[in-house]
Amino acid sequence: RGVWVVAAAGGGAAALGATAGMYVLVACPAGNRLVNSLGGTFAHDLQACRACDDDQYVIDSTMGNLTCQACPAGAVCSGGVLTGGRVSGSVWAPDLSRGVFVLLSCPPGYELIGGLATATSSTMLTAAAAQDCSPCAAAYYCVGGSAASSACPTGTFAPALSNSSSACLPAVFVRVTFTLPLPKASLTAARLANLTAALAAVAQLPASAIVIESISDQRRA
């Protein structure tokens, strides 16, 4: 499996450290990482194409010893290949120097999170895996690209996924505090969605107008 060439004196394969006449693995099928050296030194007997898991990708199968990377939260990976973003309109690009895909921008109504601009060498892989286009939260607007979300001015409100300050309209806020016979840990995303829908029905408002500000396990005496 893969593309093999015979090393010639002064040729590209010889530059890896291979002796003229040796077979050298120079490319693997997409989704496979290329192994042809050890510690930067050509290793004839270790040459192989190693498949990445379905939830991983390798950025280039023709560059030796790049590792398989975790599929970012906002991307779709299949067969060791990053095939695109989960959110339509998100822009991803390969960064060969770091061996990862970088999320460059998100469409309006979404905020780019987990960016690599401030990542250090020790946090880079974690940051790369966290990259995502997160839906803009209610009471905020997101213009897209790599810009952070912006809060609506005091006394105004915008529904989730808003993409412009013009979505922030004057509003009257009613804060309600209540107790549920459930521990905080049991409030899954699905239960919170159902709770939001129930509150919206009682208030006769769209669910986008309901914001759950905080959840606490504290009990009233």
Confidence at 120, pLDDT banded by 50, 70, 90:
low
% of the chain surpassing 90 pLDDT: 47
Cα separation, 221 vs 216, whole angstroms: 14
More confident residue, 84 or 66: 84
pLDDT band for position 221 (cuts 50, 70, 90) = low
Closest-CA residue to 73 (of 64, 62, 82): 82
Q: Name the residue type at position 218.
A: Q
Confidence of residue 210 (pLDDT cuts 50, 70, 90): confident
Query: 16 versus 192: which is more confidently predicted?
Result: 192
The full length of the chain comes to 221
- Residues 102 and 69: beta-carbon distance below 8 Å: no
Determine the average pLDDT of the residues in 125-150: 93
User: 41-42 and 23-27: which strand pairing?
Assistant: unpaired
